[in-house]
Amino acid sequence: MLIADVDAGGALVDRVRRMEVVRLGQGIDRTGVIAPDAMERTLAMTREYAALCREHGVTAVRFVATSASRDARNAGEFVAGVRAAFGDLDVVPEVVEGIVEAELSFTGATGDLRAAAVPGPYVVVDLGGGSTELVRGTAHVEAAYSMDIGSVRMTERHLPDDPPTAEQVEAARADVRAALDVAEREVPLDGVGAVVGLAGSITTITAHALGLTGYDPEASHLARIPADVHREACRSLLAMSREQRAGLGFMHPGRVDVIGGGALVWLEVLDRVLARSPESAVVTSEHDILDGVTLSLAST
């Protein structure tokens, strides 16, 4: 959740920024429905967020739901629960398509890149639990594609052991590579100035690559780290046991069991982009779809 003001120049000024892992997509790849406990966790957090919106006198709300609710047969129950949570604020959640998710993430991520003189064109990678979006552009979106691969989906499909076996890892990598083969038909990966990673899996990998002892978004935001350091951080997280990952000071408890799947996806995406654009910088952004959603409200 992001609650923000908009300054005279149209830039966001954060008042509250929250990230909670609720795992709405738990089991959806297998069952096609949102599990009852996942539904309750998510709606409980929604009620908490609605209370914060009232506390801060929010005048406009946009509630965006992504991969899990796109795929679930019982998404209507989720939508009804969100509307009930916000009540008087009259919020209708939007279950957005992957291309809309990609555009919102691109808008949120790229403003700071241009200000920091990060070279374009950019390929923005929004790595979620159920899907991963690739978005190419500089000042605006030129091409985008949403893949049904993410940290939760890869873990549930391929990585049941702790740590996963070599055979499990190879099966997951083959799945991601097949998805990238299709994505690359829509999103050109040659001539890329910077590959930009967003969302919790990538910011967590970045914290590991930086050797942080606790999560520090200021250290991660716009961090330019050599690709080989990212790759080593990914391999390290993938090879750890759950107990070892849980002991890392920067690790969110809700990400402990799926960060290996996220690391595997990020590793494969980096390898693919850098095979086509060897000089591309690798940049992490803490600004993402939340910023894009909020900016979309400010422009209306």
CATH (domain of 249): 3.30.420.150
What pLDDT was estimated at residue 118? 85
Residue 299 in domain: no
Give the Å distances, CA to CA, from 32 to 25, 75, 193: 9, 10, 38
pLDDT computed for residue 97 by the predictor = 79
Residue ending a domain, choose from 51, 77, 95: 95
What is the pTM assigned to this prediction? 0.78
**For 89, how many CA atoms within 13 A lie in the half-sphere containing its CB?**
25
Q: Are residues 254 and 284 in the same domain?
A: yes
Tell me, yes or no, whether 154 lies in a domain: yes
Over 70: is that where the pLDDT of 67 sits? no
User: Taking residues 98-106, what's their average pLDDT?
Assistant: 80
**Where does the pLDDT of residue 57 fall: very low under 50, low under 70, confident under 90, or very high at 90 and above?**
very high
Same domain, 75 and 167: no
Higher pLDDT, 89 or 127: 127
Of 33, 27, 32, 91, the residue nearest 64 (C-alpha) = 91
End residue of a domain, out of 78, 95, 112: 95
CATH of the domain at 14: 3.30.420.40
Mean pLDDT, the chain, integer: 90
Which residue range forms the structural domain that includes residue 205?
A: 98-290
Going from the C-alpha of 59 to that of each of 3, 90, 267, 269, the distances in angstroms are 10, 11, 41, 39
Domain total in the chain: 2
pLDDT of residue 263 exceeding 90, the answer is yes
What was the pLDDT predicted at 48? 95
Please check whether residues 171 and 61 belong to one and the same domain.
no
Q: Are residues 79 and 181 in the same domain?
A: no
180 and 271 both lie in a single domain: yes
Same domain, 110 and 84: no
In a domain? residue 300:
no
**Which H/E stretch holds residue 96?**
none
- pLDDT tens figures, 224-261: 999 999 999 999 999 999 999 999 999 988 899 999 99
pLDDT at residue 300 in the model: 64
**Confidence band (pLDDT; 50, 70, 90) for 68?**
low
Please report whether residue 297 resides in a domain. no
Helix (H) or strand (E) holding 248: none
Question: 266 versus 146: which is more confidently predicted?
Answer: 266
Q: Which residue has the higher pLDDT, 10 or 50?
A: 50
Which residue type is seen at 171? A
Question: How does residue 137 score in pLDDT terms, banded at 50, 70 and 90?
Answer: very high
What pLDDT is stored for residue 262 in this prediction? 94
Q: Which of 51, 72, 95 is the last residue of a domain?
A: 95
Q: At what angle do helices 199-210 and 259-276 cross, to 10 degrees?
A: 80
Mean pLDDT for 160-189 is: 95
> Do 122 and 16 reside in the same domain of the chain?
no
**88 domain-assigned:** yes
**295 assigned to some structural domain:** no
Whether residue 141 is found in the same domain as residue 86: no
Quick one: which of 105, 96, 98, 142 has its CA closest to 120?
Answer: 142
- Bridge pairing between strands 94-95 and 12-17: unpaired
Is residue 120 located within the same domain as residue 230? yes
Please tell me the predicted confidence (pLDDT) of residue 90. Answer: 82
Is residue 64, in this structure, part of any structural domain at all?
A: yes
Co-location of 186 and 41 in the same domain: no
Cβ neighbors of 46 (< 8 A, separation 6 or more) are 81, 82, 85, 86
Q: Are 112 and 157 members of one domain?
A: yes
Same domain, 169 and 69: no
The answer to whether residue 8 scores a pLDDT higher than 80 is: no
Asked if residues 197 and 285 have their Cβ atoms less than 8 Å apart, the reply is yes
